[in-house]
Structure 1
Amino acid sequence: MLKLFYRRFTLAICLVAVASALTFALIALAPGNAANFLAERAAGPKATHELVQKIERDLGLNDPLYIRFGHWVGDVSEGRLGESLRTGHPISDEFAQRLPTTIRLLLGGGVIAFFMPLVIGVAGALSNGGVLDRSLRVLAIVGASAPNFFVGALLVLLFSVKLHWLPAFGTSGLLSWMMPWVTVGLFPTCVLSRVVRVTLQELMARPFATTGFAKGYGRAGVLIYEALPNLAVPFLTTFGAQFALMIIGAIVVESVFAWQGIGAFFIDSIRFRDFPAMQAILMTFVVFFVFVNLLVDMVCMLIDPRIRRSQFESA
């Protein structure tokens, strides 16, 4: 078992290394020159070509790409993410201020995306082609098709402008988190609810479901005692992928609700061509995505011996 974990962890480290090299190359080859931006900020319209060249030498922008990447990896390994070109502050300080907001957003949306699909999927399976099942299917398709910014705007219009129940922006209390949590969690909830419903329908045709009916269980009993335990692995696998992708939705949600999280920091970095901050944030996204899926893989191996057996056979 430990050998399997070690193999998965090593693969995750390799994926992060490759992704870091690709993202660094993409940022370095992007249009624009950070030296020009810094020179204009320091001297305004009077910035000279000599000043730009001096900044390029000081930042090492004239060095080959692989040398710059090596310096960046060395700094990151020591916990130094560089300074923001936009604010002049260390990027690690910006992360320390903004990361708790994004974490709370993802955790709240993740709780919704974990439990609501199970409720919706089981309710649809119990209805089994009835009015409730068809209605939930339509709602799931509509919810999965609606972009985050549109959902957020509708929620603000309804609950803030019309009903005055919830604040439209800010992080002043629990009520201010409700609409952002729903907004970021709606898409994965709808996707996962369809996964749960379709998987349960397939599981109800398995021999163990027939055995459950033979034991005297009704449809609800077979769903709960026989089908749901076998749903764990496909549900957790899909949930892990959807939860990791919620970091992308957080960029939009934080902009809609005027939050100062990592997503809003990323938008500001793109707008002002803050290349060091863009690189640090992109790597944060990559690490988050890779290690969330790594954690889900390990949990699935723990709860399902068939996965461990297949991994040993393929080794």
Structure 2
Amino acid sequence: MLTLIARRTLLALAMILAASALTFALIAAAPGNVAALIAERTAGPSASAELVQSIADDLGLNDPLPVRYGRWLSDSVAGDFGGSLRTGKPILEEFAERAPVTGLLLVCGGAIALIMSLTIGMLGAISNGGKIDSLLRALSLAGASTPNFFVAALLVMLFSVTLGWLPAFAGSSAASWIMPCLTIALFPCSVLSRVVRVNLQEIMSRPFATTGFAMGYTRLGVLTREALPNIAVPYLTTFGAQFTLMIIGSIVVETVFAMKGIGAFFIEAIRFRDFISMQATLLSFIMFFVFVNLFVDIICLLIDPRIRRQSNA
């Protein structure tokens, strides 16, 4: 078991390394001169070429790309992401201030997606081709096809502008978090509900489910006792993938609802051509993707011995 976990961890670190190199190369190839931007914000539009060259030499921007990448990676591993060109503050400090907002958004959205997807999938499986199943299938398809920004706009128009029930912008009150959490949870909830429904339908056709009916269990009883535990691995795997994608959704949601999270910080970095902040934010996204999926893989290894046997084969 420990060997499998160590192997998965090393693979995750290799993926982070490869993705970070690709990200650094893409940002380095983007149009714009970091030294010129810093000089312009330091000395104004009349910044001299000598000042630009001096800043480039101090930052090592004239060094070969592999050297620059190695220096940036070593500093990042040490926790030094540099300073934001827009605010002048250390990026790690910016992350510390904004991470709780994004973290709470993801946790609440993930909890809503988890509960609602299991509920919708179970109701569809109980209905099994009935009107409720057809309605829930249509709603799931609509939810999976609707972009976050459109959902956010509809919720604001309905609950803030028309009904006046909820504030249009996220703040310190619990009510202000309802619409952002619902918005970011809609897509993963829709996808996961279909995963639950399809896997339950497949499980219910197996012999042990038929045995459950023969023992006198109702359809709900067979679903909860026999079928639901058997979809744990595919459900957790899909949930992990959808949860990591929620960090991309947070970029839109935080911007629409004026939330001061990491997603909004990334948009601000793009708008102000803050390449240093863009690199650091993309690296944090990559680490989030990889480590969440690594955690899910480890959980699946622990709960399903079949995966351990396949990995050892």
The TM-score, its normalising length taken from structure 1, stands at 0.98
- Classify the secondary structure of the residue corresponding to 1:172: coil
- Classify the secondary structure of the residue corresponding to 1:46: coil
Give the structure 2 partner of residue 176 of structure 1: 176
Aligned residues: 313
Given residue 218 of structure 1, which amino acid in structure 2 is its aligned partner?
A: T
Q: Are 2:125 and 1:125 equivalent residues in the alignment?
A: yes
Deviation at 1:76, TM superposition (A): 1.3
CA contact (8 A) 2:170 2:180 kept: no
Given residue 158 of structure 1, which amino acid in structure 2 is its aligned partner?
A: L
Give the structure 1 partner of residue 24 of structure 2: 24
Structure 2 counterparts to residues 113-262 of structure 1, below 5 A: 113-262=113-262
Give the structure 2 partner of residue 107 of structure 1: 107
Q: Relative to structure 2, which stretch is displaced further, 278-287 or 77-86? A: 77-86
Where structure 2 has 5 or more consecutive residues not aligned to the other structure, the ranges are none
- Percent identity of paired positions between Structure 1 and Structure 2: 65
- Classify the secondary structure of the residue corresponding to 1:50: helix
Give the structure 1 partner of residue 308 of structure 2: 308
Q: Relative to structure 2, which stretch is displaced further, 212-221 or 148-157? A: 212-221
Structure 2 counterparts to residues 279-290 of structure 1, below 5 A: 279-290=279-290
CA distance in 2, matches of 1:27, 1:285: 15
- Classify the secondary structure of the residue corresponding to 1:169: coil
Given residue 16 of structure 1, which amino acid in structure 2 is its aligned partner?
A: I
Where structure 1 has 5 or more consecutive residues not aligned to the other structure, the ranges are none
Structure 2 counterparts to residues 39-58 of structure 1, below 5 A: 39-58=39-58
- Classify the secondary structure of the residue corresponding to 2:259: coil
Deviations 1:87-121 (A, max 9, x none): 11110111111110000000000001111100000
Q: Are 2:3 and 1:3 equivalent residues in the alignment?
A: yes
Q: CA RMSD of the aligned region, Å?
A: 0.8
- Classify the secondary structure of the residue corresponding to 1:45: coil
CA distance in 2, matches of 1:262, 1:77: 19
Q: Relative to structure 2, which stretch is displaced further, 186-195 or 156-165? A: 156-165
Deviation at 1:170, TM superposition (A): 2.6
Runs of 4+ in structure 1 deviating by more than 3 angstroms, as ranges, are none
Q: Relative to structure 2, which stretch is displaced further, 235-244 or 166-175? A: 166-175
Deviation at 1:86, TM superposition (A): 1.1
Given residue 236 of structure 1, which amino acid in structure 2 is its aligned partner?
A: L
Q: Are 2:259 and 1:263 equivalent residues in the alignment?
A: no
Deviation at 1:200, TM superposition (A): 0.7
CA distance in 2, matches of 1:294, 1:276: 27
Q: Are 2:60 and 1:69 equivalent residues in the alignment?
A: no
The TM-score, its normalising length taken from structure 2, stands at 0.98
Deviation at 1:221, TM superposition (A): 1.2
Deviations 1:15-45 (A, max 9, x none): 1111111111111111111111111112222
CA contact (8 A) 2:105 2:181 kept: yes
Given residue 304 of structure 1, which amino acid in structure 2 is its aligned partner?
A: D
